[in-house]
Amino acid sequence: AKEIHQILDEYPIVNPIQLEHWSWIAGYYMCSLGEVFRSAVPSAFLLESETLIIGNERAVFDENSLLDDDFLVVEALQNQSVLKVQDISAIVDKKNVLPILHRLLEKNIIVLKEEIYEQYRPKMVRYVRLGNDYSSEENLAVLLDSLSRAPKQRQVVLSLFQLQGGNSKPIKVSDLEKSSSSSSAVIKVLVEKGILEEYFIQTDRVVYEGEKGNLGAIQLNGFQEMALKDINHGFEEGKTVLLHGVTSSGKTEVYVKLLEACIQSGKQGLYLLPEIALTTQLIGRLQSYFGEKVSVYHSKYNIQERVEVWNNVLVQKPKAQIVIGARSALFLPFSNLGLIIVDEEHEGSFKQYDPAPRYHARDSAVVLGKLHQSPVVLGSATPSIESFYNAQTGKYGYASIARRYGNVLMPDIELVDIKEQTRKKRMQGHFSERLREEITEALGNGEQVILFQNRRGYAPIVECTTCGHSPQCPNCDVSLTYHQFKKQLRCHYCGHQKLLQENCEACGSFTLDTKGFGTEQVEQELHTLFSKAKVGRMDLDTTRKKHGYEKIITAFEQQELDILVGTQMLTKGLDFRNVGLVGIMNADSLLNFPDFRAHERSFQLLTQVAGRAGRTEKRGKVLIQTYNPYHQILKQVSTNDYEGMFREQLYEREQYHYPPVVKIIKITLKHKDFNKVNDAATWFGQSMRGYFKDNVLGPEFPPVSRIRNQYLKNILLKIPSNQSLIKTKNCIGKIERSFNAISQYKGVRLIYNVDYI
């Protein structure tokens, strides 16, 4: 027998329900179980400075999720492909690059060449206290005397005595250092002399300034009570329930009541939100009810922090009874779930785009609920067509709240015709006369204003008026966006950036102009039009830093800002009390987006942004600027006609065979050689037609057909509801095997996206 070297885990870190759930995800979303594992389990490896890092082949990833330093590293890896940790340190000019590497590892953008597995180490904090011999005042006096030649040591001893307050409790070394204004070296000497005793105490990495729980404070109104009843009724029938409540109807309060019942029965509750809705606002609200019973699982947490939450859920610590998190919280080791809430269930960001598993967190949550025999509630003011359809067909239960809480009226929505305003010369920059009037009035009343433009940067296109040339990304098939603040052109797909020259790079003329506009330009125009107003901007560029997002929200909340300009980040889960006016700068780019979900999305986005207006007694005002004021969707938004929108969209989806009446699998072929992708896609498309006939669309190039020097071509497969999903996937598997055997297509990547969004 050999000696036990190390005990890996006190408890198994993955339980049987998780395994079953992950297998389902792998099967349904057509990826390997390993890919699900990699995404699910935080990689709590400790990197050591000798570790080699190698760049992965991953060409497409969510640029939005990268911080500036991460970009630098990714860029360096594109030229170098293998880097040492020290090299990376030099590139970003930082000593500690581990957080960067952890982030990139998590996203599978880099991989480790040599891995050093280490147990996740709990965080140990150093404490000291006076040795037992010195606890009485007399002995202390003797000690202080003996230290009269070492004033610094004497000071430490005195401070420690005061901090201990006459008893023997250990004090944090960092606190002692502060109060005695001395260095750790002095403390170390005292420990070595045996005057101080040293302790290491394990502490939590994630600390909340949480308030004490204050349940019972909520009194639901009649509409909320009705909804709660309907939800519970649906649960009794074993159904997932859709909670359809208009913006500011108080859905959160209904969730709180459900969570309360859940934890009273001794079970765990999971509250899923899209990443951007995970604000301190909402977390604070939940903590004010549940106090320390709430844990948060956030992608901005580092790996150690996430492991801590993981372990707390695993051993069912009381502080992890309710977990609120973004989609990855679905993978936590719950053994005893009693409720899953998916809030803002219509949000596309619940679907993971890259890397695999390309799972939908909402749909996976419904499956997880089944495995735990736990009820699931999906909530939204603007449900996805899929979920509303499921409610209509009786697959899901349905509950609704049609009124805002506290007799607050739905905002008054007005459409402004930009074409007419231009003809009458009433536009100033991108502001119509009506919008300027309303802003003036709101500011005059001391109200705040939100302006929405779904594009960041200054302008999406720079164009030479002499020769028509416009700068393109060298790696992607898109125009570079102009960011005025840094006078830069940037690619929003790969992060490529360069300075804007003053003259055209093709013909040399000094005749550059911009086309289209983003949040930066709106902000700049505001400085001219409303020079006294304090303007803030909330988009990816201003929120990249860890607390950037919170800072802007807090500033607006505390009315340090009068006007907030932003992208769709503005729409989610924010509850501002003093917003009198919401302006939508241009609704058309949303409506014209080339996708079958464009109209549904526009309705959702516009309704959600509009919902930020007038959350108190005074009715809020919303202005939507558009070239197309007769557009059906805009009418439906302005009359809050969700069901009209639903009926019309469903009719179209039935006519043209799109979800929810069929399922769609998108197959993307990808390679850096254009011809290779093209030929391979043709072959694949033809083989698919052999099995699936007219249900195959494409192959087609997507609107941006080259990203990071990789060409992309898509094939869509529509699967009618009477066709077996398993058989379908088996057929695709067969085609894939033949495909892999063809040597000329070697290296072409196949990406499956089931239920693509």
* List of residues contacting Zn ion (CB under 5 A): 464, 466-467, 469, 473, 475-476, 491, 493-494, 496, 504, 506-507, 509
**Min CB(74)–Zn ion separation in Å:** 12
127 vs 493, beta carbon nearer Zn ion: 493
- CA of residue 110 relative to chain centroid, distance: 20
**Min CB(78)–Zn ion separation in Å:** 12
How far is residue 250's CA from residue 473's CA, in Å, rounded to a whole number?
45
| Nearest by Cα to 376 from 189, 243, 485, 280 | 243
Q: Which amino acid is at 704?
A: V
DSSP assigned state of 681:
H
119 vs 503, beta carbon nearer Zn ion: 503
Run of H or E residues at 380:
strand 376-380
How far is residue 290's CA from residue 284's CA, in Å, rounded to a whole number?
10
Please give the span between the terminal C-alpha atoms of the chain, in angstroms, as a whole number. 56
Structure tokens at 720: 């009618």
How far is residue 595's CA from residue 714's CA, in Å, rounded to a whole number?
13
Nearest residue to ligand ADP on Cβ basis: 250
Site membership for ligand ADP, residue 250 (CB under 6 A): yes
Long-range contacts, stretch 684-687, CB < 8 angstroms, 24+ apart: 684/715, 684/735, 684/739, 684/750, 685/715, 687/735, 687/738, 687/739
Q: Which stretch binds ligand ADP (CB under 6 A): 215-223, 302-310, 450-458, 713-721?
A: 215-223
Q: Which stretch binds ligand ADP (CB under 6 A): 225-233, 250-258, 311-319, 564-572?
A: 250-258
Residue from 69, 106, 253, 308 that binds ligand ADP (CB under 6 A)? 253
Tell me how many residues contact ligand ADP (CB under 6 A): 15
Torsion of CA 380, 385, 391, 394, to 10 degrees: -170
**Min CB(246)–ligand ADP separation in Å:** 7
119 vs 509, beta carbon nearer Zn ion: 509
Residue from 245, 274, 471, 495 that binds ligand ADP (CB under 6 A)? 245
DSSP track, 142-196: HHHHHTTT-HHHHHHHHHHHHHHTTS---EEHHHHHHHHT--HHHHHHHHHTTSE
Structure tokens at 422: 């231009």
Site membership for ligand ADP, residue 248 (CB under 6 A): yes
71 vs 627, beta carbon nearer Zn ion: 71
Phi, psi for residue 35 in degrees, rounded to 5: -65, -35
439 vs 494, beta carbon nearer Zn ion: 494
481 vs 571, beta carbon nearer Zn ion: 481
Residue 245's binding partner among Zn ion, ligand ADP, none (Cβ under 5 to 8 angstroms by kind) is: ligand ADP
360 vs 708, beta carbon nearer Zn ion: 708
Residue from 252, 543, 636, 640 that binds ligand ADP (CB under 6 A)? 252
Task: Name the CA radius of gyration of the chain, rounded.
Answer: 29
Torsion of CA 30, 33, 34, 35, to 10 degrees: 40
| Residues placed in the known binding site | 464, 467, 473, 476, 491, 494, 504, 507
Q: Which residues contact 406 (CB under 8 A, 6 or more apart)?
A: 221, 617
Sign of CA dihedral 290, 293, 298, 302: positive
Site membership for ligand ADP, residue 640 (CB under 6 A): no
Spatial contact of 303 and 43, defined as CB atoms under 8 Å apart: yes
341 vs 669, beta carbon nearer ligand ADP: 341
| Nearest by Cα to 166 from 202, 143, 146, 136 | 136
Q: Which stretch binds ligand ADP (CB under 6 A): 91-99, 165-173, 219-227, 367-375?
A: 219-227
List the x/- string, 557-576, binding to ligand ADP by CB under 6 A: ------------------x-
Q: 310: buried, middle or exposed (CB in 10 Å: 19+, 13-18, 0-12)?
A: buried
Site membership for ligand ADP, residue 226 (CB under 6 A): no
How far is residue 739's CA from residue 746's CA, in Å, rounded to a whole number?
9
Q: Which stretch binds ligand ADP (CB under 6 A): 129-137, 213-221, 475-483, 681-689?
A: 213-221
Site membership for ligand ADP, residue 407 (CB under 6 A): no
Site membership for ligand ADP, residue 249 (CB under 6 A): yes
**Min CB(479)–Zn ion separation in Å:** 10
Residue 473's binding partner among ligand ADP, Zn ion, none (Cβ under 5 to 8 angstroms by kind) is: Zn ion
Q: Which stretch binds ligand ADP (CB under 6 A): 136-144, 240-248, 351-359, 681-689?
A: 240-248
79 vs 167, beta carbon nearer Zn ion: 79
For the chain, the 3-state helix, strand and coil shares in percent, each to the nearest 5, are: 40, 20, 40
Q: Which stretch binds ligand ADP (CB under 6 A): 25-33, 196-204, 212-220, 695-703?
A: 212-220
Residue 218's binding partner among Zn ion, ligand ADP, none (Cβ under 5 to 8 angstroms by kind) is: ligand ADP
**Min CB(384)–ligand ADP separation in Å:** 17
Site membership for ligand ADP, residue 602 (CB under 6 A): no
Residue 219's binding partner among Zn ion, ligand ADP, none (Cβ under 5 to 8 angstroms by kind) is: ligand ADP
Residue from 155, 221, 288, 628 that binds ligand ADP (CB under 6 A)? 221
Phi, psi for residue 481 in degrees, rounded to 5: -85, 140
Residue 184's binding partner among ligand ADP, Zn ion, none (Cβ under 5 to 8 angstroms by kind) is: none
How far is residue 469's CA from residue 487's CA, in Å, rounded to a whole number?
18
| Nearest by Cα to 216 from 266, 260, 267, 264 | 260
Spatial contact of 637 and 603, defined as CB atoms under 8 Å apart: yes
Beta strand spans in 589-681 (E): 621-626, 662-671
**Min CB(387)–ligand ADP separation in Å:** 16
DSSP assigned state of 360:
B
**Min CB(253)–ligand ADP separation in Å:** 4
441 vs 557, beta carbon nearer ligand ADP: 557
How far is residue 502's CA from residue 512's CA, in Å, rounded to a whole number?
7
How far is residue 514's CA from residue 43's CA, in Å, rounded to a whole number?
44
| Nearest by Cα to 272 from 286, 293, 292 | 286
Site membership for ligand ADP, residue 220 (CB under 6 A): yes
491 vs 650, beta carbon nearer Zn ion: 491
| Residues placed in the known binding site for Zn(2+) | 464, 467, 473, 476, 491, 494, 504, 507
Q: Which stretch binds ligand ADP (CB under 6 A): 199-207, 251-259, 495-503, 695-703?
A: 251-259
Look at the block and give the residue holding tokens 């349940």: 215
Residue from 219, 407, 675, 743 that binds ligand ADP (CB under 6 A)? 219
List residues near ligand ADP by CB under 6 A.
Answer: 218-221, 224, 245, 247-253, 405, 575
